Structure 1
């Protein structure tokens, strides 16, 4: 998998220092600055400490099964055009080298609902999806009774309550959504489960 994060720090330099400091016990494979400069911090074949506690599908040790990309952003501002251009180029290369399909490019918030919110509601997932570098949800309204099952079929298997799961799902696929779970959320989850069931890759921990 590929997991996308934001740094929530004042600058790329500060983030690089933190991600390179063993005492901090946090790392990532790549850091992309606002100007599009890409820094390699950990070799792709090595394990980086970027995901923390969480799961995706039946993978519970995400750090051992993923490449982490940190984006220089405070969590509130738009992501710069230069950063997004650099991310697209980086993703294309990683996905080709490791045969990673677009549905396995995920947010930190996807694997750790309620604990993490990055890369946040300002991140343009639709842009990546148009380039075949991630996926987006579409579809007719669905049955709210199947939302949790369908979300899990796509990959949201964290042991969290319904409200936390919905918040994480909306942060990625419907950031403008408000109120309780509705048929629109259910339809989006059903579409993802039908087109991108996580178990078709035989993912194991």
Structure 2
């Protein structure tokens, strides 16, 4: 049985981002759960804001490269800050570009997302841990045919929840391995050969 391949993405490009720290912890746990994890940084993709005219005239090479990363993986680990009650703009823009069809594909093909699984998480300074943003992210991913694991991780008071790269808040610390194990299992099961190989 081949390892499920997970793409790990933070919705914050800030240096020393709490969400990047959270993602690093989840990615390590996913490796322990038997998944092969690829970590990317959205800062490395020079994506313009999504624009249909730009898409029609010259689909950005960076958007194609990002889309190829999504296509090449069985599932995703996504950590996003909450911006004004929703997901970050940089994450939404990345998802918008990756969801667009390319020549020969129908509008509903969605090869970067359809039939894949995501584990979502958020670290926030607020007492709610980014829950409103997670609700929006779950809706967005569901709309583009991605299965979102029932478990999710919300880290409130993020400025106090970490000790350097380590998470010290006990509740999300205990939930992370549960969530990533679910994502790894579903990513394997949802592959075309997954049920036969499981």
**TM-score using structure 2 length:** 0.38
Which of the pair is proportionally richer in strand? 2
